[in-house]
């Protein structure tokens, strides 16, 4: 069923069972705005920037097609592109690094 754990909330102990999936989950990590990763597996259809380009917040960086939908990936903040790791036609997996900012 899962391992038993004791949680203490407001000085009260609670016994609960934790699933293996829950026990192996990754801890929360704040998003690194200098790295853009694929949020879904798909195919890169277009890349609008190159290394050294200065981009503004919200500017389109590339197009990621997934499940017949084209998703525009935008810059999270104003920055300079350090490296582009994909090209049009590349198949990417979820979480794969697409580009980096300086």
Output the pLDDT for position 97.
Answer: 96
**Contact predicate 17/2, CB 8 Å:** yes
- CA-to-CA distance for 35 and 29, rounded, in angstroms? 13
Residue that is written with structure tokens 């380009």 in the block: 53
Output the pLDDT for position 30.
Answer: 85
Run of H or E residues at 26:
none
pLDDT tens per residue, the chain (102 residues)? 678 889 899 999 999 888 888 888 888 888 888 999 999 999 999 999 999 999 999 999 999 999 999 999 999 999 999 999 999 999 999 999 999 999
pTM of the model: 0.71
- CA-to-CA distance for 53 and 47, rounded, in angstroms? 12
């Amino acid at each position: 069923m899962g391992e038993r754990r004791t949680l203490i909330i407001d000085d009260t102990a609670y016994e609960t069972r934790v699933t293996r999936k829950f026990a192996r989950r990754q801890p929360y990590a704040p998003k690194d705005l200098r790295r853009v990763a694929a949020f879904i597996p798909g195919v890169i259809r277009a890349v609008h920037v190159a290394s050294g380009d200065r981009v503004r917040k919200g500017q389109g960086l590339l197009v990621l097609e997934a499940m017949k939908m084209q998703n525009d990936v935008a810059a999270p903040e104003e920055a300079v592109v350090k490296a582009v790791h994909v090209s049009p036609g590349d198949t990417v997996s979820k979480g794969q690094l697409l580009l980096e900012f300086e």
